[in-house]
C-alpha cells in the first residue's frame, strides 16, 4: 500500500506502510462479498488444459494469499485484535515502502471474528481532523469504512465516541444498546485506521488519539474489561509479505491458498470458477492434483507476469493524471482484484480517497525544467476532508531537498491568487519570493519523477469527471 499502497510492509521505522469435492460439490460460502461490478474476470469458464486452469487459480487466489502472509507477518509483533500504531512520518531516507504519504498516521490491526465479535471504539476527535477506519475482508474487498465524514452509525448513536461491533459470518446474537454492527463476510478482517496529521509537530496529538482507540472482545466489553493502551510499533517483518509471496514455490503457494480458503471460503458468486479449479484439486482444504510440478511452476510464473502487467480498464486518465474510480470491491473481476493487491494492497474505496498520479521528466534534454500547476477559480480539488500534493523521485521515494518540503496543500498553507485561483511551482530550485513558500513543491533536478494528489473524502465532482486535475505545464 506507498501512501495507501504499501500497508503490507510494517517496519522498524514506520508503518505505511499486510474440501474434498468434485466439480459439482465444491465447498463455497458467502465470504468474499458481492458486487454489482461487471463480471469481467480473468477466468475462462470452459474446460482447458491444467496449466491454464492453474494460472487462473493463481490470479484468483493471489490476494487471499498475500493478505494471509501480511497477517502472519504482522502478528509476529502484535497479536490478533491488537492495534499497531505508526509513530513517525517518513522522510526521503525512509526506505521501508514506496510512495508513502505524509497526510495520515496509521493504526492497523488484524481481527479474528471467527468465534466472537470485536468491539471497535473511535473516541471523540476534534472537528476538522479527518479519520477513517477501513475494514477489508480476507479477499481484499473493503466491506466498511466509517470516517469523520461518514461515521456510518445507526440512528441514536450519532455522537462520539463511536462504538462499532465487527461480527463474523457465522455469528448470531444480540448486541448492547448504542453500538453499530459491522458485519464481515470472512472471519479474518484487516482494520486499517488513518488519522490526519498536520506535520511533525502534530504527531503527539495524533498519538494521544491512537491511545484512545479501543479493540475489545464483545464479552469483555460487556463485562467492562478494557485493554491497556497499545505501544507504538517498533518492529516489522524482515521480508516484505509481497516479496515472500512472489518468491513462494508454486506448490507452496497453492497449498497455502487451499488452506486459507478453508478458513476464509470464497463467495457463492465464485462457484463457477471454483468448480473449474477443483478439476485440479484447488479447493478449500484441498491439494493440487492432475498437473506436473513443472507445469504448475510455469502456470504460477505466467500469472506473476500477467498480474503486474495487467491494464485496468477502469483507470481514468485526466490531463495525464491517472487514477482509479472503481476499486475497493471487486466481485468476480479477479484480475482487477489481483492487480490492485499487487500494486496497492489495502486500496480505499473511491468515496474515501483517490490518488491521481502524473509521471514525467524533471529535465528537458538535460536542463532542469520548471513546471506550473494552475487551478482556476473554484477548481481546487473538491473534497469534504482535505487534499495534498506529494512528489516522488524515479525510485518512488520522497524527493530530498534542502528545504525539507515533500508535500504541499494540507501540509502547508497554499496562497491563492487575488481572483481565487491557485498556482503551484513544481521545480528543483527555490523559485524565490515570487512564489509563496507553501506553493512550491521541489522535484529532482534531473530524471523521472511523479506527483500524486491525495484527495481524502472526494466530492462527487472528482468521481464523476466533472472536475479534472489541471495540466502540468512548463513555466514560460
pTM score of the predicted model: 0.88
Cα 44 to Cα 462: distance, rounded to the nearest angstrom:
34
Which residues in the chain land under pLDDT 50? Answer: 1-2, 4-36, 38-46
- Residue by residue, DSSP assigns 351-412 as TTEE--EEEEESEETTEE--EEEEE-TT-S--EEEEEEEEEEETTSSBPP-TT---EEESSS
Cα 190 to Cα 188: distance, rounded to the nearest angstrom:
7
| Of residues 426, 374, 428, the one with CA closest to residue 403 | 428
> In sequence order, what are the residues at sequence separation of 6 or more whose Cβ sits closer than 8 angstroms to the Cβ of residue 182?
120, 135, 143, 144, 146, 152, 164, 165, 166, 167
Cα 355 to Cα 323: distance, rounded to the nearest angstrom:
6
In the numeric block, which cell numbers belong to residue 67? 493478505
Cα 440 to Cα 434: distance, rounded to the nearest angstrom:
10
Cα 442 to Cα 407: distance, rounded to the nearest angstrom:
9
What is residue 231's predicted lDDT score, i.e. its pLDDT?
A: 66
Cα 166 to Cα 313: distance, rounded to the nearest angstrom:
33
Cα 475 to Cα 425: distance, rounded to the nearest angstrom:
9
Classify domain 1-308 by CATH architecture. Answer: Sandwich (2.60)
Q: CA 376, 381, 387, 391: dihedral to nearest 10 degrees?
A: -70
Cα 127 to Cα 112: distance, rounded to the nearest angstrom:
32
The residue assigned the cell 448470531 is 172
Task: Give the burial class of 228: count Cβ atoms within 10 A of its Cβ; 0-12 exposed, 13-18 middle, 19 or more buried.
Answer: exposed
Cβ neighbour number for residue 57 with a 10 Å cutoff: 31
Q: What is the pairing mode between strands 142-144 and 321-324?
A: unpaired
Cα 145 to Cα 194: distance, rounded to the nearest angstrom:
11
> In sequence order, what are the residues at sequence separation of 6 or more whose Cβ sits closer than 8 angstroms to the Cβ of residue 149?
130, 384, 385, 457
The domain 356-474: what is its CATH number?
2.60.120.1600
342, 305 contact by CB (below 8 A): no
- Topology match between the domains 1-308 and 356-474: no
In the numeric block, which cell numbers belong to residue 445? 533536478
| Of residues 145, 134, 132, 7, the one with CA closest to residue 67 | 7
Cα 44 to Cα 39: distance, rounded to the nearest angstrom:
11
In the numeric block, which cell numbers belong to residue 232? 507504538
Exposure b/e, 28-56, CB count within 10 A at least 16 = b: beebbbebebeeebbbeeeeeebbbbbbb
17, 6 contact by CB (below 8 A): yes
Chain centroid to CA 249: 26
Task: Give the burial class of 282: count Cβ atoms within 10 A of its Cβ; 0-12 exposed, 13-18 middle, 19 or more buried.
Answer: buried
User: For residue 155, what is the enclosing H or E element?
Assistant: none
| Domain range summary for the chain, segments of one domain joined by + | 1-308, 356-474
Phi, psi of 381, rounded to the nearest 5 degrees: -50, 120
Classify residue 107 by its DSSP letter. Answer: E
Question: What does the H/E/C string look like for 174-227?
Answer: CCCCCCEEEECCCCEEEEEEEEECCCHHHHHHHHHHHCCCEEEEHHHHHCCCCC
Within 13 Å and on the Cβ side, how many CA atoms surround 429? 9
Longest dimension (CA), the chain: 73
Amino acid at each position: 500500500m506507498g501512501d495507501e499502497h504499501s500497508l503490507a510492509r510494517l517496519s522498524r521505522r514506520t508503518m505505511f506502510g499486510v474440501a474434498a469435492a468434485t466439480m459439482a460439490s465444491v465447498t463455497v460460502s458467502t465470504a468474499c462479498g458481492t458486487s454489482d461490478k461487471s463480471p469481467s474476470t480473468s477466468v475462462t469458464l470452459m474446460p482447458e488444459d491444467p496449466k491454464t486452469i492453474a494460472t487462473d487459480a493463481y490470479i484468483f487466489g493471489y490476494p487471499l494469499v498475500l493478505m494471509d502472509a501480511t497477517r502472519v507477518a504482522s502478528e509476529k509483533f502484535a497479536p490478533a485484535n491488537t492495534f499497531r500504531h505508526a509513530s513517525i512520518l517518513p522522510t526521503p531516507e525512509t526506505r521501508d515502502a514506496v510512495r508513502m504519504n505524509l497526510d495520515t498516521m496509521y493504526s492497523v490491526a488484524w481481527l479474528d471474528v471467527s468465534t466472537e465479535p470485536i468491539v471497535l471504539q473511535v473516541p471523540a476527535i476534534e472537528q476538522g481532523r479527518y479519520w477513517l477506519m477501513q475494514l477489508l475482508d480476507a479477499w481484499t474487498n473493503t466491506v466498511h469504512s466509517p470516517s469523520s465524514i461518514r461515521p456510518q452509525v445507526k440512528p441514536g448513536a450519532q455522537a462520539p465516541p463511536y462504538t462499532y461491533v465487527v461480527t463474523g459470518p457465522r455469528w448470531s446474537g444480540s448486541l448492547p444498546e448504542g453500538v453499530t454492527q459491522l458485519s464481515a463476510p470472512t472471519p479474518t478482517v484487516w482494520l486499517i485506521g488513518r488519522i490526519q496529521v498536520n506535520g511533525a509537530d502534530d504527531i503527539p496529538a495524533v498519538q494521544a488519539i491512537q491511545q484512545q482507540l479501543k479493540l475489545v472482545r464483545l464479552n469483555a466489553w460487556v463485562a467492562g474489561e478494557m485493554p491497556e493502551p497499545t505501544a507504538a510499533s517498533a518492529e516489522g517483518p524482515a521480508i516484505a509479505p509481497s516479496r515472500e509471496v512472489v518468491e513462494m514455490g508454486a506448490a507452496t503457494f497453492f497449498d497455502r491458498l487451499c488452506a486459507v480458503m478453508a478458513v476464509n471460503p470464497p463467495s457463492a458468486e465464485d462457484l463457477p470458477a471454483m468448480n473449474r479449479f477443483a478439476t485440479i484439486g484447488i479447493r478449500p482444504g484441498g491439494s493440487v492434483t492432475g498437473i506436473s510440478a513443472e507445469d504448475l511452476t510455469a502456470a504460477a510464473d505466467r500469472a506473476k507476469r500477467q498480474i503486474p502487467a495487467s491494464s485496468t480498464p477502469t483507470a481514468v486518465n485526466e490531463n495525464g493524471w491517472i487514477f482509479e474510480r472503481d476499486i475497493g470491491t471487486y466481485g468476480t473481476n479477479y484480475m482487477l482484484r489481483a492487480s490492485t493487491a499487487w500494486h496497492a494492497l489495502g486500496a480505499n474505496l473511491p468515496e474515501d480517497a483517490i490518488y491521481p498520479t502524473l509521471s514525467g521528466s524533471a529535465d528537458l534534454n538535460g536542463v532542469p525544467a520548471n513546471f506550473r500547476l494552475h487551478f482556476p477559480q473554484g477548481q481546487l480539488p473538491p473534497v469534504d476532508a482535505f487534499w495534498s500534493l506529494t512528489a516522488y523521485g524515479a525510485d518512488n521515494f520522497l524527493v530530498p531537498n534542502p528545504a525539507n518540503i515533500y508535500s504541499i496543500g494540507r501540509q502547508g498553507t497554499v496562497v491563492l491568487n487575488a481572483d481565487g485561483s491557485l498556482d503551484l511551482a513544481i521545480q528543483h530550485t527555490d523559485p524565490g519570493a515570487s512564489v509563496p513558500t507553501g506553493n512550491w513543491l521541489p522535484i529532482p533536478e534531473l530524471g523521472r519523477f511523479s506527483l500524486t494528489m491525495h484527495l481524502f473524502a472526494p466530492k462527487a465532482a472528482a468521481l464523476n469527471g466533472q472536475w479534472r486535475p489541471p495540466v502540468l505545464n512548463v513555466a514560460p
